[in-house]
């Protein structure tokens, strides 16, 4: 299906940077919260980090219950707040209007969270992911704005505890095809 709204260009240098972080899940999102670049580990952590995925649509229309184990209310509040803050930082455009209209019409959860303008977006936080290959991973994220391109935001993840760091390392080995990284044996 062709993109109705083209994704912003991501430089070769930025792609090389995020692809070089093989042990750290990282993706770049645009102001509409659409993933415009992601490394292999981020895509292995969650399908919501695939290039072209709009995170609010994924969260509110496709559900996050099969991937995320933590407080769903906190996640949907944060996603709505990040979208609202991004809209306040950038000029409204047809793409913002389409996303907000679609979510408002199809998700009561979004409508409620969007109406609550008391919540502001956090630049960091944690979430727990139930990954099909390695099990539960608790991750912390940090959103970093590019000084020269305020349209794009780098989102970097890390395991918050030793079991999560081991699970991320195992997942990195699996996607790299390293021997001894069979998730069914729990070996690494």
Please provide residue 67's backbone torsions phi and psi, each rounded to the nearest 5 degrees: -115, -45
Nearest to 69 by CA among 131, 7, 6, 153: 131
Residues 53-81: tens digit of each pLDDT = 999 999 898 866 555 555 577 788 888 98
State the pLDDT at residue 65.
53
> How far apart are alpha carbons 60 and 179 in whole angstroms?
38
SS3 content of the chain, % helix, strand, coil (to 5): 45, 20, 35
Residues 124-146: tens digit of each pLDDT = 888 888 888 999 999 999 999 88
Extents of the domains making up the chain: 13-124+141-160
- The tokens of 126 are what? 């944690």
Length of the chain: 188
Mean pLDDT of 164-171: 96
State the pLDDT at residue 149.
73
CB of 18 closer than 8 Å to CB of 153: no
CATH architecture of 13-124+141-160: 2-Layer Sandwich (3.30)
Collapsed DSSP state (helix, strand, coil) of residue 18? helix
């Amino acid at each position: 299906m062709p993109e109705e709204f083209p994704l912003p260009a991501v430089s070769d240098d930025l792609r090389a940077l995020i692809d070089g972080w093989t042990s750290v899940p990282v993706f770049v999102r645009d102001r509409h919260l659409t993933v415009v670049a992601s490394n292999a580990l981020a895509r292995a952590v969650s399908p919501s980090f695939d290039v072209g995925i709009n995170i609010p649509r994924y969260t509110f229309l496709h559900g996050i219950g099969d991937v995320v184990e933590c407080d769903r209310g906190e996640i949907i509040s944060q996603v709505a707040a990040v979208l609202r803050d991004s809209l306040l930082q950038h000029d409204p455009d047809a793409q913002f209007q389409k996303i907000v209209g679609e979510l408002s019409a199809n998700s009561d959860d979004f409508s409620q969270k969007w109406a609550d303008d008391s919540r502001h977006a956090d630049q960091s936080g944690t979430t727990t992911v139930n990954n099909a290959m390695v099990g539960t991973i608790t991750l912390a994220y940090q959103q970093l704005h590019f000084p020269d391109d305020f349209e794009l935001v780098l989102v970097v993840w890390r395991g918050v505890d030793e079991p999560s760091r081991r699970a991320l390392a195992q997942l990195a080995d699996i996607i790299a095809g390293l021997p001894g990284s069979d998730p069914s044996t729990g070996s690494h």
